[in-house]
């Protein structure tokens, strides 16, 4: 009898221990997760001193986000001209379960060139955190394989490419200049997106896009363009350029000597200028009166470098 009682006590104690361990496992706080990390324009893991840097990550909290932090630190095995590090903490995501952290910030002017550790830290309100490490290469503009400065203009022109009025312009190759017209571009006028890039080499391609603002779609890479929403106003490419040179979608480098191109699309056209086959301008991208983004994305496939920019215009349909 005593033996049976002792066995019962042992079984009861063991079951309590197992149940306690099980509850501890169930109550253990879940860590946040990080996915779809992108560093640099076009996700090329390049930062340029004094210029815009792109960062993107999708965060899912175990409970709720407390903050998101990045740390750019020097690597002990690398050599630098001086000691330098950088840290940013974003607290605006506090209290949410999921967040797409899409940020643009300038690499500080006092940064030193070199290879860096790029650490992403997500802290959860439940006390847990996760860290993800990537590598970032920081260059001074003059030491880049390509320094993709650009000029961008949007003109209203007639069918012979004669200028009617300037709609938008931004220049940073030779001087800084900005202009935006308050006038609309009208149905049956032609929109001419004109892009010049200060230095191109090797292979590259560019899309000029017109996108209704109501879609909230401003792709930063060619791969992220949603062509169901984006009207292609122009497509341009170059191949096998041996030496760095200025480029523009007004010149065809495939001909010798190069020939002049007049990029334009009629407001109200039935089809766009997509390549190799034009796409009908219907459904989500059909023409209508309202506010539009007009921009370009240039990607150099040889050096894996991207530059993009968007202006805004008003379209008026009859």
Q: What is the mean pLDDT of residues 170-198?
A: 92
Which residues lie closer than 8 Å to 127 by C-beta, 6 or more apart? 29
What pLDDT, on the 0 to 100 scale, is given for residue 6? 46
- Please check the confidence at residue 273 and state whether its pLDDT lies above 50: yes
Last residue of a domain, one of 118, 143, 168: 143
Q: What is the mean pLDDT of residues 131-147?
A: 92
Structure tokens at 299: 């990607």
Q: What is the mean pLDDT of residues 292-298?
A: 97
User: What CATH number does the domain containing 99 carry?
Assistant: 2.60.40.2550
User: What is the tens place of the pLDDT at every residue in 102-117?
Assistant: 999 999 999 999 999 9
Residues 242 and 304 in one domain: yes
Average pLDDT, the chain: 90
- 7 in a domain, yes or no? no
User: What CATH number does the domain containing 187 carry?
Assistant: 2.60.40.10
Residues 124 and 270 in one domain: no
Residues 137 and 160 in one domain: no
- 15 in a domain, yes or no? no
- 13 in a domain, yes or no? no
- 308 in a domain, yes or no? yes
What pLDDT, on the 0 to 100 scale, is given for residue 243? 82
Q: What is the mean pLDDT of residues 19-44?
A: 76
Residue 249 belongs to domain spanning: 149-316
Last residue of a domain, one of 143, 170, 196: 143
Confidence of residue 3 (pLDDT cuts 50, 70, 90): low
Residues 124 and 173 in one domain: no
- Please check the confidence at residue 64 and state whether its pLDDT lies above 80: yes
Residues 155 and 53 in one domain: no
Residues 130 and 241 in one domain: no
- 12 in a domain, yes or no? no
Residues 250 and 282 in one domain: yes
Q: Which of 63, 62, 40 is nearest to 52 (CA)?
A: 40
Q: Within 10 Å of residue 274's Cβ, how many Cβ atoms?
A: 17
Residues 131 and 57 in one domain: yes
Could you tell me if 247 and 296 are in contact, meaning their C-beta atoms sit under 8 angstroms apart?
no
What pLDDT, on the 0 to 100 scale, is given for residue 174? 74
Number of domains making up the chain: 2
- 2 in a domain, yes or no? no
Share of the chain above pLDDT 70, in %: 92
| CA atoms within 13 Å, Cβ hemisphere of 230 | 26
- 68 in a domain, yes or no? yes
What pLDDT, on the 0 to 100 scale, is given for residue 219? 96
Residue 101 zone, left/alpha/beta (φ > 0; ψ -120 to 50; rest): beta
Residue with the bigger pLDDT between 212 and 7: it is 212
Residues 242 and 267 in one domain: yes
- 99 in a domain, yes or no? yes
Residues 159 and 277 in one domain: yes
Residues 153 and 138 in one domain: no
Confidence of residue 245 (pLDDT cuts 50, 70, 90): confident
Last residue of a domain, one of 97, 114, 143: 143
What pLDDT, on the 0 to 100 scale, is given for residue 4? 52
Residues 161 and 125 in one domain: no
């Amino acid at each position: 009898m005593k033996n049976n009682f002792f066995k019962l006590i042992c079984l009861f104690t063991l079951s309590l221990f197992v149940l306690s361990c099980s509850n501890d496992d169930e109550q253990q706080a879940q860590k946040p997760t990080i996915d779809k990390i992108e560093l640099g324009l076009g996700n090329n893991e390049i930062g340029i001193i004094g210029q815009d840097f792109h960062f993107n990550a999708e965060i899912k909290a175990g409970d709720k986000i407390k903050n998101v932090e990045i740390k750019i630190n020097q690597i002990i095995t690398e050599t630098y001209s001086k000691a330098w590090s950088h840290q940013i903490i974003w607290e605006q995501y506090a209290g949410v379960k999921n967040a797409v952290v899409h940020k643009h910030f300038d690499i500080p002017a006092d940064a030193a060139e070199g290879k860096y550790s790029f650490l992403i830290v997500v802290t959860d309100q439940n006390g847990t955190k996760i860290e993800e490490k990537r590598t970032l290469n920081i260059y001074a503009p003059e030491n880049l394989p390509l320094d993709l400065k650009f000029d961008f203009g949007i003109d209203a022109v007639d069918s012979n490419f004669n200028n009617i009025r300037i709609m938008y312009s931004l220049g940073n190759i030779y001087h800084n200049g900005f202009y935006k017209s308050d006038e609309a571009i009208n149905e049956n006028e032609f929109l001419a997106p004109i892009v010049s890039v200060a230095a191109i080499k090797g292979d590259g391609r560019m899309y000029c896009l017109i996108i209704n603002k109501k879609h909230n779609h401003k792709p930063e890479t060619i791969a992220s363009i949603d062509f169901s929403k984006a009207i292609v106003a122009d497509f341009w490419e170059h191949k096998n350029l041996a030496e760095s040179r200025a480029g523009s979608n007004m010149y065809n480098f495939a001909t010798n000597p190069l020939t002049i191109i007049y990029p334009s699309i009629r407001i109200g056209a039935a089809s766009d200028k997509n390549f190799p086959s034009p796409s009908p301008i219907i459904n989500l991208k059909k023409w209508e009166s309202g506010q539009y983004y007009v921009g370009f994305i240039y990607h150099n496939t040889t050096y894996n470098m991207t530059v993009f920019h968007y202006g805004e215009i008003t379209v008026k349909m009859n």
